[in-house]
Amino acid sequence: MADADSAAGKNYRSEIPAPNEAYFLKGSNNLDWGLKNRLANIFNPDSGRTVMLAFDHGYFMGPTSGLERVDLDIVPLARYADTLMLTRGMLRSSIPPSYTGGIVLRASGGPSILKELSDEEIALGVEDAIRLNAAAMAVQVFIGGEHETKSVHNLTRLVDQANRYGIATLAVTAVGRDMARDAKYMRLATRICAELGATYVKTYYVEDDFDTVAAGCPVPIVIAGGKKIPERDALGLAARAVAEGAAGVDMGRNIFQAGHPSAMIQAVRKVVHGGIEPAEAYEFYLRQGADSGAN
Ligand code: R5P
């Protein structure tokens, strides 16, 4: 006989209100459950930050130094990343499906380094992103570039597709070679991306007034590492970025081109999630690198 709906013998604990907590990420409280769940697979809910390992460079640069053999050199680093940022081709060919961290798929492309880079199109459909269990799709946005309107339109079309299925959209602000990499430009570019619907935005750290870039962007910002610099400086860059409002890093060359990539990504984690000083993280890097030998 079915259980009668009587309070007797049940455990409702009516005196305890149901939790109604704010979501841990800036600007994300009003998103739907699936999208929030995917974001929690990119950003660590405990620290509110992420270490994304970026190795999508081949989509326009071909076999970049350090990425000649993703299977041999990048797969061993994946366990230290919260999220991998890569192309669907590299995901299917080289990353074991047993990987359980977040997947951020490069979703724009077209021109190679031999051509005008801002002339990109959307290069990934949302159905394939779902098939690959992606948490987010990433699109390059060229504010001030020759094909600015087209790349902004790529972003808005991708937002429409991704929102339909609760996939996050990462807008990647690309700075043309002849443009000033300053806070004024980054404020403009990041704000436009957020206003047009990006779930989060990747940009570059700038020495002066980065805090205003982060404050003016209503959704989380992560910073790209950029060209390879000395390991100590890259750790300092990550530390300053998170101290000034970034929600983490999307770092590639400064990890996979480091003298000791495995030691480097672990040191970056200590800075981003553990909040340790860059000097201490660098000491860790040297010790870990010496212990691990070549990698
Ligand atoms: C570059 O086009 C890609 O979007 C990279 O994912 C991004 O620049 C981050 O890599 P890196 O730290 O090497 O700049």
How do residues 133-157 score in pLDDT, each as one tens digit?
999 999 999 999 999 999 999 999 9
Region of 260 (left: φ > 0; alpha: ψ -120 to 50; beta: rest) is beta
Mean pLDDT of the chain: 95
Helix (H) or strand (E) segment spanning residue 53: strand 50-54
* Structural domain contains residue 263: no
Ligand 1 and 226: CB distance under 6 A: yes
Ligand 1 and 250: CB distance under 6 A: yes
pLDDT-based confidence at residue 16 (cuts at 50, 70, 90): very high
**Residue 118 has what pLDDT?**
85
Task: Give the CATH number of the domain where residue 213 resides.
Answer: 3.20.20.70
* Structural domain contains residue 236: yes
Task: Identify which of 200, 250, 264 to mutate to test ligand 1's pocket (most ligand atoms within 8 A of the CB).
Answer: 250
* Structural domain contains residue 168: yes
**Residue 4 has what pLDDT?**
64
* Structural domain contains residue 270: no
Which entry of 202, 227, 228, 270 is annotated as an active-site residue? 202
Task: For residue 2, give both structure tokens.
Answer: 């079915």
* Structural domain contains residue 201: yes
pLDDT above 90: percentage of residues in the chain: 87
Query: How far apart are alpha carbons 39 and 147 in whole angstroms?
Result: 30
Task: Identify which of 57, 67, 141, 200 to mutate to test ligand 1's pocket (most ligand atoms within 8 A of the CB).
Answer: 57
Ligand 1 and 120: CB distance under 6 A: no
* Structural domain contains residue 193: yes
* Structural domain contains residue 191: yes
pLDDT-based confidence at residue 181 (cuts at 50, 70, 90): confident
Report how far apart, in Å, the C-alpha atoms of 273 and of each of 44, 71, 163, 211, 276 are. Answer: 8, 26, 28, 19, 8
How do residues 204-257 score in pLDDT, each as one tens digit?
999 999 999 999 999 999 999 999 999 999 999 999 999 999 999 999 999 999
* Structural domain contains residue 198: yes
The total of other beta-carbon atoms located within 10 Å of residue 239's CB is: 20
Q: What range defines the domain where residue 223 resides?
A: 49-257
Q: Which backbone phi and psi does 105 adopt, to 5 degrees?
A: -95, 130
**Residue 175 has what pLDDT?**
85
Q: Is 227 one of the catalytic residues? A: no
pLDDT of 1 over the 60 cut: no
pLDDT-based confidence at residue 8 (cuts at 50, 70, 90): confident
Ligand 1 and 234: CB distance under 6 A: no
How do residues 92-137 score in pLDDT, each as one tens digit?
999 999 999 999 999 999 888 998 888 889 999 999 999 999 999 9
Query: What is the tally of structural domains in the chain?
Result: 1
Paired sense of beta strands 200-204 and 108-109, if any: unpaired
In a 13 Å sphere around the CA of 55, the CA atoms on its Cβ side amount to: 28
